[in-house]
Structure 1
């Protein structure tokens, strides 16, 4: 146990060291909010995907594969294609657009893109981001409590406090620069763990054949992509529920922020390959962990702890700290991203707009204070729920439907205005919440109706608002000119 504790403590020390180093480098508002647009292709790609996948990758997804078998592969496909399409069709345009509009957060971009001088777009989008980032962070903090309880026997509440203190410390110090570099480190740990662990366990138990034979005898539907469903609508619901996860990506503000932070748009092509490869291998490993776990631990009380169970039963005890570090890396990489993005929404949009005389150094200090407050709110919420997968999916659906259509329309259409933007955010948010709490999510993933409703609201709202004005169109054309210039330069 001592060796495991030492390993885990070393992992924490590295995170704090990153926080201290980046604190010394992050001198400006741009540095703290967007790492000064200095991230290279590796940092941007792995930081984006590790913060996106979160503790759900090592807990929720194996749990889904444990319960659903091959039907969970729909989720994996949705994640892979969602990642690839987002990098291919959003990353480059957003990186160029945010530089042309001279903005450092996604909500600042929305505000300038629709030429809103009233501050209403910043206010509505900022509040929505803060709410969903708190929900996301609380889901991950729940995971840290489970992790430290399962690994070291700590009380659940103590576990979530420890996780919270770690992430607040390095995020408070270095801002987005600390988040980016710590996520490169943590994403690498996650990738290695999900590549190595299932393969090592398969070798230990004699290969895949005994797993397949045993699970087939118990439940042949485990190996069916539609989980044995023969009725059209239940089968369609399973497929769309998995594939629909990919729609989340267009509105994942913490991932979009990674696109904005990359140093040079010419590196995005390489980042696309890195990110897609990382997601493909990591999600396959997570699904494999869940399926092997269904064979090894069929009566496990909490399927989300399969990864821990493998560590305890099939690896030397001194490696337990490495398993804890892998899962905590998945958790903290996301919590830090959620918290800093929410703090940016507060500092860069709400405070900066409504207190225009505040200089950048004071805004950074206010963002640091927001990091602490937002983390505490997430902690309080985490005390009321212990179902990581459901909470994380609800928040992801909220982000995807509230911001996904708006991001796409802003990047690909001239005709977007303030009325359309606000309508899109509100309708997407309300639809997801209604769909989830009405129980309709049992039939179709709430993101899909939310995304459709948000898109329609944007189109109708823009039309009601009279379309885009001449200044908005001129700014959009300047962005298109820069985009086309970059394409010509290769």
Structure 2
């Protein structure tokens, strides 16, 4: 029954994705942006499904399993930072997409001020392919861990299944297929997490018995994250602020921001924001709760792999049919992010890397197949933690693109070499921060973003109304 339930949902996702091909147009803008005609509720559910990836189902739950209630600061910081970013950047990015008529995240940023930054754009595209490709590999690996924890299959089997699903409907319908399946997947993800949370509480005898069991675990209700260099409230504040910058780094994630670029109108951003943060908060809270429950059901997992907590707990607590739902939810999370990552890499390859921007539909689909294959190879050959790999990719992209977007949102103009300096300075600081181990105290995206923004403010010039009008006129002329 587990396998039958799981396969049912996979076929459902596949059918939804393939059906989008009926609405596809043979253009680059449609393949990568769905012609910027996606309604706000659909954009929001797609963006939140893409954000709540295998990282949430596998990584965050595994982290919460290990540290306990202190993981709540990760949730608070991340969502608050994400929200603050959306207030200042998302709407402006949608306006810039319409103004530039570009199809990739890097290209929109390169032409934001009216000219072009071809060197920066190619460097940005290369960075997108490297780090989003690694990110995609992490999602594919997360699918393998899900099958390993519930069905006892080899993780390579799940990796192949994720890659095959992504490739089939992404080639068929481009980002429209990705967005449509995201909506179906987001609902399954929410149902799966809710079912597991409620069943877990009930099986333990209710809320009172559950809280009592948690209290018996030494330090599990401690609000201070473990291994903090600074103890007490100061350490908590530093931890939360660090993850606030992790949430703020969403503006540097091409696979998420492209959803808002596909929105039907910049005027729809407020409605998209309401849908997005309502779903995001509920889902993240449930994931944190399930991670804490897993510690009660699987106390010995700490000595093995905490990232197997969710699938292993589902197999132990739920009847077979519902185990299939949870497994489908995990796969939905990994697929909904993996397809977005693959398409963003494909856009960078065909639109920004090659000398001439490729337009033929089969070339675009061939690029998608190439990127998917490379991500699968990385997933099959690596054994790094999903949590660690996603955080590294997320922080690097956040500090590479986030500072420039922030400076743009502040109405300032940056030269191409200034933008390159901002990118490399932010990335260098973030990677060094992680290399020397300071990321255990503060998320590496914080110093990287701060350095990048400070450099940008120092070297940039105000974008006057006249210069904005000139930029818009230059873009309108092509």
Counterpart among 2, 5, 13 of residue 4 in structure 1: 2
Counterpart among 306, 310, 318 of residue 321 in structure 2: 318
Q: Residue by residue, what CA displacement relative to the aligned partner does 1:309-356 show, whole Å, maximum 9, x if unpaired?
A: 2321221123222111000000000000001011111122223xx225
- SS of 1:262's partner is coil
Matches within 5 A, 1:111-130: 111-117=110-116, 119-130=118-129
Matches within 5 A, 1:128-207: 128-207=127-206
Q: Show the counterpart of 1:340.
A: 343
Counterpart among 410, 416, 432 of residue 412 in structure 1: 410
Distance in 1 (alpha carbons) for counterparts of 2:175 and 2:259: 9
Distance in 2 (alpha carbons) for counterparts of 1:370 and 1:470: 40
Q: Show the counterpart of 1:231.
A: 231
Q: Residue by residue, what CA displacement relative to the aligned partner does 1:359-414 show, whole Å, maximum 9, x if unpaired?
A: x3x2x332212212212222222221230111100111011111111112123223
Matches within 5 A, 1:274-285: 274-285=275-286
Distance in 2 (alpha carbons) for counterparts of 1:20 and 1:240: 42
Distance in 2 (alpha carbons) for counterparts of 1:131 and 1:163: 20
- SS of 2:412's partner is coil
Structure 2: state its 5+ residue gaps: none
Q: Show the counterpart of 2:273.
A: 272
8 Å Cα contact 2:77-2:241 kept in structure 1: no
8 Å Cα contact 1:171-1:371 kept in structure 2: yes
8 Å Cα contact 1:423-1:461 kept in structure 2: no
Deviates more, 1:175-184 or 1:382-391: 382-391
Answer yes or no: is 1:247 the counterpart of 2:244: no
Q: Residue by residue, what CA displacement relative to the aligned partner does 1:273-322 show, whole Å, maximum 9, x if unpaired?
A: 11111111001000000111112221112222222123212211232221
Q: Show the counterpart of 1:286.
A: 287
Q: Show the counterpart of 1:401.
A: 399
Structure 1: state its 5+ residue gaps: 480-490
Deviates more, 1:66-75 or 1:178-187: 66-75
Distance in 1 (alpha carbons) for counterparts of 2:394 and 2:427: 11
Distance in 2 (alpha carbons) for counterparts of 1:148 and 1:13: 16
1:469 CA drift (Å)? 10
Distance in 1 (alpha carbons) for counterparts of 2:2 and 2:242: 38
Distance in 2 (alpha carbons) for counterparts of 1:154 and 1:309: 13
8 Å Cα contact 1:79-1:279 kept in structure 2: no
Aligned-pair RMSD on alpha carbons? Answer: 2.3
8 Å Cα contact 2:136-2:341 kept in structure 1: yes
Inter-CA distance 82–475: structure 2 relative to 1 (3 Å threshold): farther
Q: Show the counterpart of 1:486.
A: none
Inter-CA distance 402–471: structure 2 relative to 1 (3 Å threshold): farther
Counterpart among 373, 378, 389 of residue 375 in structure 2: 378
Matches within 5 A, 1:75-86: 75-86=74-85
Q: Show the counterpart of 1:483.
A: none
Distance in 1 (alpha carbons) for counterparts of 2:214 and 2:5: 35
Distance in 1 (alpha carbons) for counterparts of 2:87 and 2:326: 33
- SS of 1:299's partner is helix
8 Å Cα contact 1:198-1:289 kept in structure 2: yes
Inter-CA distance 438–116: structure 2 relative to 1 (3 Å threshold): farther
8 Å Cα contact 1:254-1:337 kept in structure 2: yes
- SS of 1:50's partner is helix
Q: Show the counterpart of 2:363.
A: 366
Matches within 5 A, 1:36-47: 36-47=35-46
Deviates more, 1:322-331 or 1:423-432: 423-432
Distance in 1 (alpha carbons) for counterparts of 2:387 and 2:180: 26
Distance in 2 (alpha carbons) for counterparts of 1:136 and 1:476: 35
8 Å Cα contact 1:83-1:275 kept in structure 2: no
1:415 CA drift (Å)? 2.5
Distance in 2 (alpha carbons) for counterparts of 1:469 and 1:272: 29
Distance in 2 (alpha carbons) for counterparts of 1:118 and 1:227: 43
Inter-CA distance 234–264: structure 2 relative to 1 (3 Å threshold): closer
Distance in 1 (alpha carbons) for counterparts of 2:225 and 2:146: 29
Q: Show the counterpart of 1:482.
A: none
1:419 CA drift (Å)? 1.9
8 Å Cα contact 2:4-2:324 kept in structure 1: yes
Matches within 5 A, 1:36-75: 36-75=35-74
8 Å Cα contact 1:116-1:418 kept in structure 2: no
1:460 CA drift (Å)? 4.2
